[in-house]
Amino acid sequence: MSEIKYEFTGIGSLIKNRNLKVPIHQRPFSWQEDHVDALLNDIKSNFNEEEYFLGTVVLTGNDSQNEIVDGQQRITTVSLIYACIRDFFANERDSDDIQTKYLSTYVIRTKEYMPKLELSQQDNDFFRNLIINKVVETKIQRASNQKIKSAYDLIREFIRKLLENNNNDENILIDWKEFIDEKLKVVAITVPNDTNAFTIFETLNDRGLALAQVDLLKNYLYSKANTRLDEVQKSWIELVSKIESEDETLLLTYIKHFWFTYYYFVRERNNELFKSIKSDIKTSTSVTTFVNNLKNDVDVYLAILNHNSSFWDNYDNLCRSHIETLNYFNLEQYRPLVFAILKKFSPEEVKKALKLIVSWLVRNLIVGAMGGGTLEKAYADKAKAIFSNSIKTAAELRDSLISIIPQDEVFREQFKIATVSQAKNARYYLSSIENHKRGKQHPELLVNLNPDSVNLEHVLPQNPEGNYPTFTDEQHSAYYKRIGNLTLMKTKENNDFKSSKFSDKKTKYAESELWITKSLSSLSEWNINEINNRQAVLAELAVKTWSLKFDDND
């Protein structure tokens, strides 16, 4: 193998003297505006220093063409800085000098500027049109395109202010260009062509270079795809594009939940997911099947996160409502279970199962007997059982989890003493119990919980201001967030008298349309006994609100 080269150089000189390309195993541009802003301010803060070290970049190839193994985000952002410096020169020759030295090479035959930096397939056309060809109306087609545009706009505004603060003297642009050329230093490690870039990527990670688990995974899958690389790459890009349209951080979570369902449970920490996939997916055929299944199932998974998805058109409307309720809590342990249910159960069984999962979620939140990791594994194991057809109905699923899900007596007793720290959860609990008391057929479903309309009222207030002398400081601390001390009020009314005496509050409670609030007006005083008594009543209603039955005949 040829010698690995090390060079301590300005990142601008690196960009000027090399033709750089982002390889297929790299993710698209991902820097947020705060990353770009941090780099600009680091340059500004260290502008008068002899040099400022920006870190290490790793390249593979030779002097005519280098692929970026690590450093894409910094190199791309610095290229954007050069583009903005170019844009603010008044003299066209000055602009052209930046264009041809740092951004592109003009090809006489095609009459086009060819970028010196070639980005990923997802970003390259957008980068070329907006940054190199300066087409302002370039269409944004994916989240990474938007990030490039946002970075470019942020840098333009930064450079505009920089000029303005220096009396529009363009020498400041030259000063910045020269600083980036020579003083904004990187260690460039260049690995020759006869070394496998995929192996380099993983080895660097093993030696301490912090690479995202999803990047490692993509790199590994591409490296094993062999002659089917184009097919795998196309499927992966389609998968990522769909995920990015919702949330770019979701990809690893989706892969994890997919793995739980199709294969087995594994912890995400310490790259265990990556190691498991690497251990089990080894051939080009298995890689292709794995990536294609990921792509084909992503719409099902995304429907779990969006009750408005057209996916739910084929299901009872109650399914939409149950999904909306589940997403209200911002938890993810249940998702593999729902994913498997949607893959295997009939629409009628899906409806029953989703109702159960809402009840299970609430019961586990109140009882708290199982940690998030234990519950995640329990749900993942059942997801695998459903996917392998060991569990075929909602009733079989319910029976299989009888030792995991708090049963009525345990739920009732824990509800009697429960405190709730998150106001949004408390609003949901109380509104659902209110719905049950009113005879609503599906009380567990989400209703209007907008805090601008309905607010959580603490009967014993957070700041009693001497109006509740029967409570000691210790008792106040213990009972203030008890469910029995909570009710619902219109937001304005709640703000008007939240620290008032109970005798004043209950006159307002009497005007409420809600049973859960109006019933407080019949009490003569508010003390520990009344809190406990009320919470016991609410506990009985909670058991029925989040029932483990499918219907009254079950």
pLDDT at 316: 95
**Predicted confidence pLDDT, tens digits, the chain (554 residues):** 457 788 899 999 999 998 999 877 677 888 999 999 999 999 999 988 888 998 888 888 766 678 888 889 999 999 999 999 999 999 999 999 999 999 998 788 887 778 999 998 889 999 999 998 898 888 998 888 999 999 999 999 999 999 999 999 999 999 999 999 999 999 888 876 544 555 555 555 544 333 457 777 887 898 889 899 889 989 998 898 888 766 667 888 999 999 999 999 998 776 788 889 999 999 999 999 999 999 999 999 999 999 999 999 999 999 999 999 999 999 999 999 999 999 999 999 999 999 999 999 999 999 986 666 788 999 999 999 999 999 999 999 999 999 889 999 999 999 999 999 999 999 999 999 999 999 988 888 876 656 556 788 999 998 888 889 999 999 999 999 999 999 998 766 555 676 789 988 988 899 888 999 999 999 999 999 999 999 999 999 999 999 999 876 67
Specify whether the CB–CB gap between 22 and 57 falls below 8 A. Answer: no
pLDDT at 136: 81
pLDDT at 212: 59
User: Which pair of tokens denotes residue 249?
Assistant: 């951080």
pLDDT at 208: 38
- Give the distance between the most distant pair of CA atoms in the chain: 92
- Return the ∠ at Cα 34 (arms to 29 and 38), rounded to 5°: 100
pLDDT at 211: 44
Alpha-carbon distance of 255 to 291, in angstroms, equals 10
* Exposed e or buried b per residue across 60-79, where buried means at least 16 C-beta atoms within 10 angstroms of its C-beta: bbeeeebbbbbbbbbbbbbb
User: Which pair of tokens denotes residue 429?
Assistant: 């609990």
- DSSP characters over 212-244: -HHHHHHHHHHHHHGGGHHHHHHHHHHHHHHHH
pLDDT at 398: 96
Helix/strand/coil for 114: strand
pLDDT at 143: 86
CA atoms within 13 A on the CB side of 97: 11
pLDDT at 553: 66
β pairing state of 104-107 and 112-115: antiparallel
